[in-house]
Amino acid sequence: MMYGLGFISFVKQNYSLNSIKLVGKNDIDKNGSINDSLLSISELISLKSPEFNNNAYSFFNPLLFNGHLQTFYAAVGDFTKIDEIYYGREILQYEDGGIGSIDRVISKDQFYSNHCNDNDKIHELLPPRTRMLTDLEIKDYYSQKDNQYRPLLVVLHGLTGGSFESYVRCLFSKLHEDAQVFDCLVLNSRGCANSKISTPQLFCGLWTEDLRFLIKNLKLQFPSRPIFAAGFSLGGSMLANYIGQEGDDCQLTAAAILGNPWDLTESSYTLSRSLIGRNIYSPIMAMNLKNLLLKNLPELSKDELFQQSFNKNFDKINSITEFDNFFTCKMFGFNTAFEYYRHGSSVNRLLNFRIPTLIINSRDDPIVSSDSIPYKEVEANPYLMMLITDHGGHLGWFKYNNERWYADPLAKFFQGYIDLVELDKNGKTKVVVDQKSLPVQNSFVKDRIDIEKIQHNYTI
């Protein structure tokens, strides 16, 4: 569906009439009392990120005049020579015996320091401009007193992606290299970005335990540190599910969620109903997932039922729903892909958000149906601010100069948060909220995957 002129994209804000108020750094008097002048999320946007204002508009690339073209360019464009971010990788040891990795942004000088000579063969197997951190570098990082208060941005990438993705690097380029205030890292999903696995398990949109493990351990190391998070596409689903599951206990300062398929069932239907979705998007996503299986096959095959299912079904798979039906749902204890989709849709947890969260979706996203954009849920939760753009496709948002529209204003939003908003001793946002405006708590409980009760049930 076409919206507007195809190269002029307008922003529409959607939020609760009883939106929370952020306590500004100048809003607390000497006695600790809060003054009357408070800041809404909309006002913070006006001050720091006017590109996100209601009815603000931007000129997008006229050659990419619809959501499909924006999405295609995001997938096939050459972004290797821009936003050249350098990463140091640290291995995480999860409580279930699995391993994961985080890629932390480091300077070019640090990347090319003598440290990187220790494991040259390992470095060659990692994504571009990524190397393993040494034990000494990791120890130094966690012992630096400055990191106790330096704000940190944790990013979750999209399906089968990683820290190398251009939609991640463009944000880091603005936030880390331009300002040098924020520390930035990417949590790579299990098996992604050339990381290894040590248990026969990968990831799904409802799998939040790895993020929970990371945030918990970061808070143990840096109790007062402000930790922000941003999630893209399926990483947005993981982040949204995590925030909703944590509710009042969420330790994040604030978050941004971009291009999230809020309703996984609706997104599956959208792909299957569209000619391009059936024949291009879904097969490509399935191919990427199949390649991920092949890369991690030695460890995954230790599960005998997985191996039997792999031998019987792997070559049949031509769509993401088929992949999820044969592998993803079984890996996480569901019976069918649609049972996983219905439980895993992050819109189910949106009403339980209790941290300030910025949501960005495009109306012409061919993967995230515009019908699944959660307008009513956002209006019912005062912690949320949703920005809907006319154009942008799926994680595109390319302006006339092919820079991504969201990168600069989102970086300024996070930076403005640090400049203007008062945080408590634990790095959490001080807010004023009308308790009567909060959504009613429903009776659904135990809203997460219990790792101890997962029963792999591969279709044989």
The reported pLDDT for the residue numbered 172 is: 97
Strands 227-232 and 130-132: unpaired
Query: What is the tens place of the pLDDT at every residue in 251-282?
Result: 999 999 999 999 999 999 999 999 999 999 99
Query: H/E element holding 365?
Result: none
Mean pLDDT of 165-181: 86
Catalytic residue, from 68, 343, 391, 394: name it.
394
List, in order, residues 6 or more apart from 392 with CB less than 8 Å away.
Answer: 9, 60, 67, 70, 362, 364, 365, 398, 405
Average pLDDT over residues 356-378: 97
pLDDT for the residue 26: 74
- Mean pLDDT value across residues 447-452: 70
* Structure confidence at residue 178 (pLDDT): 56
User: pLDDT: is 425 or 458 the higher one?
Assistant: 425
pLDDT band at 409 (very low <50, low <70, confident <90, very high): very high
pLDDT of residue 120: 54
Residue 435 clears pLDDT 80, i.e. is over it: yes
Return the exposure string of 425-440: e unless at least 16 CB atoms fall within 10 Å of the residue's CB, then b.
eebbbbbeeeeeebee
- Quick check: 361 and 388 in contact, CB under 8 A? yes
pTM above 0.75, yes or no: yes
Domain layout of the chain by residue ranges: 8-263+345-437
Neighbour count for residue 36 (Cβ, 10 Å): 5
Element (H, E) at 102: strand 99-106
Structure confidence at residue 449 (pLDDT): 72
Q: Which of the four pLDDT bands, split at 50, 70 and 90, describes residue 181? A: confident
Q: Which pLDDT band, with edges at 50, 70 and 90, does 451 fall under?
A: low
**Spatial separation of the C-alpha atoms in residues 312 and 383, rounded to whole Å:** 47
Judged against a pLDDT cut of 60, whether residue 113 lies above it is answered with yes
Calculate the CA dihedral of residues 58, 11, 41, 18 and round it to 10 degrees: 160
Select 8-263+345-437's CATH number: 3.30.450.20, 3.40.50.1820, 3.40.50.970, 3.40.50.300: 3.40.50.1820
> By 3-state DSSP, what share of the chain in percent is helix, strand and coil, each rounded to 5?
40, 15, 40
Residue listed under structure tokens 């070019």:
108
Q: Beta-strand (E) ranges in 306-424?
A: 357-362, 384-389
406 pLDDT tier (thresholds 50, 70, 90):
very high
Active site residue 394: yes
Q: How far is CA 257 from CA 68, 154, 260, 410, in A?
A: 21, 12, 7, 11
Per DSSP bridges, beta strands 384-389 and 254-258 are unpaired
For residue 195, name the pLDDT band (cuts at 50, 70, 90): very high
| Percent with pLDDT over 90 in the chain | 85
What's residue 29's pLDDT? 55
288-308: pLDDT as tens digits: 999 999 999 999 999 999 999
Q: Given this model, what pLDDT does residue 7 score?
A: 86
Long-range contacts of 270-278 (CB under 8 A, 24+ apart): 270/366, 270/367, 270/368, 270/369, 270/371, 270/372, 271/319, 271/320, 271/321, 271/367, 272/319, 272/321, 274/366, 276/68, 276/366, 277/366, 277/367, 278/319
User: pLDDT confidence of 34, banded at 50, 70, 90?
Assistant: low
The span from the CA of 426 to the CA of 428, in Å, is 6
Kindly report, residue by residue over 51-70, the tens digit of the pLDDT.
999 999 999 999 999 999 99
- Residue 448 confidence (pLDDT): 72
pLDDT at 117 over 90: no
What mean pLDDT comes out for the span 122-146? 90
Least confident of 5-14, 90-99, 215-224: 5-14
User: Does 365 participate in catalysis according to the annotation?
Assistant: yes
Rounded Cα–Cα distance for residues 265 and 243 (Å): 20
Residue pair 263/369 in contact (Cβ under 8 Å)? The answer is yes
> Binning pLDDT at 50, 70 and 90, where does residue 119 land?
low
Given this model, what pLDDT does residue 455 score? 64
What average pLDDT does this structure show over 420-431? 96
Q: Kindly indicate the confidence band of residue 450, based on its pLDDT and cuts at 50, 70 and 90.
A: confident
Q: Which amino acid is at 126?
A: L
Of the candidates 16, 233, 345, 372, the residue annotated as catalytic is 233
Q: Which pLDDT score, from 0 to 100, does residue 445 have?
A: 60
Q: Is the pLDDT of residue 28 over 60?
A: no
Is the per-residue pLDDT at 431 higher than 60? Answer: yes
Residue 375 CB burial class (10 angstroms; 0-12, 13-18, ≥19)? exposed
Which of 95-104, 237-246, 406-415, 447-456 is least confident?
A: 447-456
